[in-house]
Structures are given as structure tokens and as C-alpha cells.
Amino acid sequence: MKRILFLAAVMSFLLVVSYATVALGMEISMVSFGATQNGTPVDKYILVNDQGSMAKFITLGGTLTEWYIPDKDGQFIDIVLGFDTVEDYDSPDNPYFGCITGRYANRIANGHFTIDERTYALAINNPPNSLHGGVRGFHRAVWQAIPVETPDGPAIRFNYLSHDGEEGYPGNLDITVTYTLTNDNELVIEYVATTDLPTVVNLTNHSYFNLSGASAGTILDHELMIAADHYTPVDDTLIPTGEIAPVAGTALDFTTTRTIGEMIDEFADPPFKGYDHNFVLNNQTGELALAARVHDPRSGLILETYTTEPGIQLYTGNWLDHKGKGGWYYGQFQGFCLETQHYPDSPNKPNFPSVILRPGEMYVTTTIYTVLAE
């Protein structure tokens, strides 16, 4: 009788697992991650490459929630900050952990821009400006997901149709973002978008990295190089003035590798409270090129960022005050972002590279995060 009950219990457990987990191949699996506040189901996709490195994504925001990489001692550590629950990711208090950010990443001054003599008004969610797509930007959308097995490694392809007028933006924008976890421990992010009306587009991923681990303290001792001789100075609401200024002689000079914390006190006061600056990358050709390199002496991990974009935003988690994964408290400087992008407020700065996308054109950009162990 006990054997029968045991076998029944095992069969019941396997049945539950079969409903909770959908295997999609040797390298890709999917589990339920709950539902949003309005009841939309959210799934989690798990990608594992040939080296055993693992990246996890949820359909809410097309978000990277975990990325496990072997450190210099061969121990796998999770190098991105995040939450344990769908409720936290769906909260207005979510500081954009790991998500696809858009329709326009970063800030647009006063929430206004003009195309072809027509002015559009956006949601003001970072007064007096619009930030990261508005109140319900792409980070609050549930994306359609398609798992893909490629010769380079497992991939997940996210698609979202942003309707005309969403958050004030014109045009139906059809976006596809593909994440590939390659067998060389690269996370390749490919963005493609098309529109049926002239609009503005600027997409990025907003992951917070800590190369010592997601619960390892601050990133101030991480050593950083940014391939940028110039940056875009801003006003007291973090809107660029339009000037392209040299980094030489300032606390923004990372052309030679130094720790993030060495001169961060130069920006200790609001509106910064740390680094929150757009760097004008030396490469402006649109070809893939090295943008930044970060080394953590503790874990021995090295993160290199390559991009086709003209800019990169260094943000050092200046306003973090959140309970994160495993109950760990994320405070100031416990993660850094390297957001590849066009410059903030480009729609209102004609001297900045254009962000206008028109019908018949295709928005295409690529960013690669490569992690190595010394």
C-alpha cells in the first residue's frame, strides 16, 4: 500500500512538473513566472550554453533576470541584479532591472519632440521630462517569445507591437529583440524595428551588473575603461545642453582604466549622486566596436561591451534602495549599467545623430556583452 501511495505521489509530482515546465531542447526551457497585475501570464526562459553558463529571461519587459558565469575559480556566480517575483518586476518602483527600455531609452526634454513640423507630447514620468518610454514603457509590456537554437548557442526572440499613440509616440512600431547566449559566454542583443509613421526610436537593455555577484556589495572597486574622448554635458534635469565636450581633465575620463569609485565623489550631489552620464563613443561608424571594458579584481571577471551605437550611458545605481533577489538589499552603487544608445534628447538636438525612423526604413542595432575570466 505504501509503495502504491509513493508511486502515486511521484506520478502526481511529475504531472505538476510537466505542466509547470516546457522543455524546448537541450539548451532552452520555459517555466511559468506568474502573472502581471492585470492577469497577463508571464513566462521565464532559461538558456544554457555549452560551457554551462546560464541566462534567464522573462517575457515581462523582455528582461534578463539572471546570468551565471564561472569566475576565476570556476564557481558560477549571478552577475545581474534583479527580483524574485513578477510583482516586483511589474511594480512602478522597479528601477528597470534588466529590461528592454523604450520606445525611447533615456530622457526627452519636457516630453516633447517635433517631426515634420508636427509636435508630439509624451508622458512626463521624470518631471519635467519623459524617461525610458514613459509610465508604461516597454519594461511594463509582456512580449511574445520564440526560443531559437542557433549554431552559436541558445537564443530567445522577443517581439512587441507598440501601437500608434502609445505613451504619446506616433506610429505602429514593430520590434524584435533577440538575445543569444553564445558558447563563448557572450550575450548578443540584436534589435530590429519598423514603423508605419515617422517616429523616434532608441532601444537599450538596462541590466545592472556586479561582477562580484548580485549580492556582493558595491561596484566601486571595479576597474573601468570607456572608449570615449567626449561626453554630453547636461543641465540640472539631466538633459544635454547640446555641447559635445572632452572628458580630458574631468572625472569622466575613463580612456585609461581606473576604478569606478576613484573620482565618483565629484558627482556626489543631486541630480547625479554618482555617474549618470552619456559618453560619445570614439567609434561613430555604425560598425560593431569596443565601447567599454570592466574588470573585477575579486572575481577575476572581465565584461567587455561592443556596440554599433554612438553612445553609452554609465549609471552606477545611484538611487538604488530595493529588496532584491534572495532578500538581498540593493543600495547605492551595488550595480552599474552600460546602456548602449543614441544620446539623450536627440529628437530635440539636431546636431546629435538622428533617431528618426520612417516607413520603409529598418532600425537595426547590435550590442554584445562578453564575459571573460582572467
Active site residues: 206, 339
The string of DSSP codes covering 15-63 is: HHHHHHEEE-SSSEEEEEEEE-TT--EEEEEEEE-TTS-EEEEETBTTE
Task: Confirm if 88 and 171 have CB atoms less than 8 A apart.
Answer: no
For residue 13, give the H/E element and its range. helix 2-20
Question: 2: part of which helix (H) or strand (E)?
Answer: helix 2-20
Cβ pair 266, 304 in contact under 8 A: no
Task: Tell me if 355 sits within 8 A of 104, measured CB to CB.
Answer: yes
Map grid coordinates 537595426 to a residue.
Answer: 364
Q: Tell me how far apart the alpha carbons of residues 273 and 139 are, in angstroms, rounded to a whole number.
A: 24
Contact 80, 94 (CB under 8 A): no
